[in-house]
A and B are shown apart, each in its own frame.
Chain A
């Protein structure tokens, strides 16, 4: 089941209504957990065992880690949890990729064979496995107590608003909210509504329209378009993926509020970043902080000298790329970001005291340069072939044939430009001086704007056929 699907608009009111009618804590959490499992199993009920098994293992491992003082035993239980989570993730996500590459390699030695099996990716496995690992590691580090109730732990793992595509919620953020069923405040209802409608608008009206109208056709056959169109398509793709993923997160956070839960923010105006480092502090925050706390720091972080720190950074970003998808272009995307991070860190250290870094013109240049790096990198994850990607890169770096006097906007559907503006409207709004003051003044009529947004997305959204991009990760 996905948020924009028809069945979700039946599922959500029923789950909400029953949840708030149930009087007792156990009944409410039991109902919510059951609903979350239904949500999980909707598309492929055969995979329900994955989340049930991992829930059981992690909960039990957490209990054993907390109950033991023997470090060796504690480590064994922690290892069981990590191996179980990463093992299943590896099987479902990477087995086909590894097999295909092994078979390609075997062909070099004259052995010809084809992969005859196919594995579907269980919903949200990349997300809930990371939640499970963070829980047992935090218990191991004695940062949180182990959860006594299996039901509570099951709800933490399966909570349907964030299970399919995050944010990756830490136990330390979620479990304390579960002590008593949180009461929903008027502010949560209002904020939830804003986020729910705003998120669906971003997804259905902006991201899906950009995909159908422009990004999809151009990336499918870049050779058929001028360099100017390819550049606009790359920019449109950057806006599409932001609206798709942040739209999902907004809906997730909004729906969680209606149950009284607060989920962590996942985005903070990422396209206003003034460096690649800054970007990763604003984009998919729950993943980047997870990788920092559970991978980069345990690897030694920047405490073991600059060379090791740079290697750690590279490794983290390569794995980050592979976390998104088992394919070579994802690995290259991770490497690209890792190299940029290393270069930026070096540059940062060398120029930290330079006065010009505080000038306005440098700020503008830094924003523009960062955006350019991001757009170039994002082409890697959208291209449908390396040849097609090459054409896009050629256009972005000015190598492609660009006829003299070519109109900068020719070949781009007119509707794309307002969609691009709408997609980054939140970013632009943040740049407006007195933005907050205006927001307060507009609050009384804000509901009308959101009602209009519902009308727009119902009438002009291309429908719910387009799945959320990050669900595939």
Chain B
């Protein structure tokens, strides 16, 4: 049965995040004075890294269940987006990420005061990546780079839980048609199943998000249909997680969200990287 391999220190898995850093990422989520897409995505990815680190933290330290790369694509082509001492590094063990945030910010979190009110609580917010928004959208090259990282990973980890690649974008590729490269990426596999490629399309419009569609026909335009075709079908364990989140989905949904708002960005990243079988 695919997607059942244990994720352990002896048999780690890998996650590759691709972030669109093109000029249009400066626009806000939704219309009006919302948060800039680039800021929202940077926060969501920092939060994702934080959650992954915490998941891998045990009494004795960090267990390297994952190796993670965060690659950006925009004006300067495709490259690692880590800031600080990790700058320029691609696929690295989660312990290296844990111990090297670029900085740890203090942020406010609204919490229940236990007496019916809400108070601000100061929390530590480690930052690894900063928002960038400039230039075009070289998505084809980004997928090729992901393919390179994943291919070399699979070469050394033949029995691993299949690598997960999450592409976060707000626009069409400016360097060609990404469909073939996406298919080549999805065709790569470990003994436990094919690489999972998920696409998260974020939007400046106020249209409601379309989460986990199961057919092209329900999508509004060619671009949405292209991203749909580029996305893997959700494996069974993830299907169950989506159901548990209370999202109604059909039997064959793809790992794809169209017109995502910030809530569905965060939700998608959480579901898409939640492990089924950590040891």
Bound pair: A and B?
no
